[in-house]
């Protein structure tokens, strides 16, 4: 009996130490990212700035998957909305990202609601196809409204957030700070009554309806939140790259965001978001020398990640098959 008690205490101790290790790892990761611009070259700082923005875009897709149980192929539409909002506000009003960033978030939320309301009863492949229509129409919309969007050439973003401070550092630390804040907010949201209600609406829709939460309105809420985060990511990406153009928001941009969400295992933590953002930003950049092998290597990496993520399910399937 005493051995059993000691083993139980050891197990509890191990479980308690696991979060401590995770916290220490997160602190070390943040310290490394904060110090990186002091030792890294300009190209790496620029790449990491885009990586942070793309990590936030990956988070927006993961939020939709986690809380809504749905998949979007057209989130590049909302990312483009945020990026062009920053550029247009600067060109038309002469205001910096300090003003245009909140505007982009609001516009993203409104656009997400406008799309989600009529499609609130769609799910699965039908919702995915509906979002795909957004991605397919996006380049034509950006080119068609040339007087506003700049057409094929796009628009440049030159105004600094803080005048007199190095532009690369502004872009880097702004994207990193907002990514960290969003991850903290999502962690708190997960434990909030609203977050629990959305999870209940997904897992137990009938039980949620009993307390007044319908599945359709839960989907609208989740999609609105997801679109707002995607628009915020687009605003940071536009600010980080200093330019926006239709070429940056093709149909495959939405596919890549979905791929990043798969790579991050649909996680909402900082580490998961960075993994997805790095996969769709840094991997293609540093594999560019591979030429025609880039898609092959990219696809192979995605397959390995997918197999690793489903290793438990695959093992159970094999064991069940052998038992027949």
Q: What is the pLDDT, as a whole number, of residue 309?
A: 61
Q: Name the pLDDT band for 259 (thresholds 50, 70, 90).
A: confident
Is the pLDDT at 98 greater than 60, yes or no? yes
Tell me the pLDDT of the chain averaged across its residues: 82
Confidence category of residue 280, pLDDT binned at 50, 70, 90:
confident
Average pLDDT for 94-105: 91
pLDDT of residue 11: 42
Q: Does 216 have pLDDT greater than 90? A: no
Q: What angle do CA 294, 265, 135 make, to 5 degrees?
A: 60
Instruction: Please tell me which residue, 92 or 229, carries the higher pLDDT value.
Output: 229
Place 37 in a pLDDT band, splitting at 50, 70 and 90. Answer: confident
% the chain with pLDDT above 70: 85
User: In this structure, are residues 121 and 95 in contact, taking their beta carbons and an 8 Å threshold?
Assistant: no
- Rounded to an integer, the average pLDDT of 119-148 is 85
Q: How far apart are CA 273 and CA 276, in angstroms?
A: 5
Cα(91)–Cα(214) distance, integer angstroms: 42
Mean pLDDT of 274-296: 78
Task: Give the per-residue pLDDT at 27.
Answer: 84
* 309 CB neighbour count, 10 Å cutoff: 15
Q: Lowest-pLDDT range, 19-28, 176-185, 214-223?
A: 19-28
Nearest one of 130, 102, 171, 137 to 249, comparing CA atoms:
137
Question: Can you tell me the distance from the alpha carbon of 46 to that of 251, in angstroms, rounded to the nearest whole number?
Answer: 24
If you average pLDDT over residues 63-84, what whole number do you get?
A: 91
pLDDT at position 30: 87
DSSP-derived 3-state class of residue 154: coil
Return the higher-pLDDT residue of 72 and 204: 72
3-state DSSP assignment of residue 201: helix
């Amino acid at each position: 009996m005493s051995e059993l008690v000691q083993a139980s205490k050891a197990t509890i101790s191990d479980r308690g130490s696991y979060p401590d290790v995770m916290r220490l790892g997160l602190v070390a990761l943040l310290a490394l990212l904060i110090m990186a611009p002091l030792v890294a070259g300009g190209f790496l700082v620029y790449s990491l700035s885009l990586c942070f923005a793309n990590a936030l875009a990956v988070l927006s897709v993961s939020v939709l998957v986690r809380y809504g149980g749905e998949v979007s192929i057209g989130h590049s539409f909302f990312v483009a909305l945020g990026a062009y909002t920053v550029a247009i506000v600067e060109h038309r009003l002469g205001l910096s990202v300090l003003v245009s960033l909140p505007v982009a978030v609001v516009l993203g939320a409104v656009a997400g609601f406008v799309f989600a309301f009529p499609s609130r009863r769609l799910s699965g492949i039908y919702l995915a196809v509906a979002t795909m229509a957004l991605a397919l129409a996006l380049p034509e919309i950006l080119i068609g409204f040339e007087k506003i969007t700049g057409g094929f050439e796009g628009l440049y973003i030159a105004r600094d957030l803080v005048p007199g401070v190095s532009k690369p550092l502004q872009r880097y630390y702004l994207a990193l700070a907002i990514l960290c804040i969003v991850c903290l907010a999502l962690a708190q949201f997960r434990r909030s009554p609203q977050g629990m209600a959305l999870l209940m609406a997904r897992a137990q829709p009938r039980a949620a309806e009993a307390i007044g939460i319908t599945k359709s309105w839960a989907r609208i809420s989740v999609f609105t939140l997801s679109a707002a985060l995607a628009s915020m990511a687009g605003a940071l990406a536009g600010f980080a790259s200093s330019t926006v153009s239709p070429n940056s928001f093709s149909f495959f941009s939405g596919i890549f965001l979905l791929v990043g969400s798969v790579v991050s295992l649909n996680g909402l933590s900082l580490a998961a978001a960075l993994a997805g953002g790095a996969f769709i930003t840094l991997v293609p950049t540093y594999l560019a020398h591979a030429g025609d092998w880039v898609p092959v290597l990219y696809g192979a990496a995605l397959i390995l990640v997918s197999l690793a993520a489903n290793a438990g399910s695959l093992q159970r399937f094999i064991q069940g098959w052998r038992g027949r």
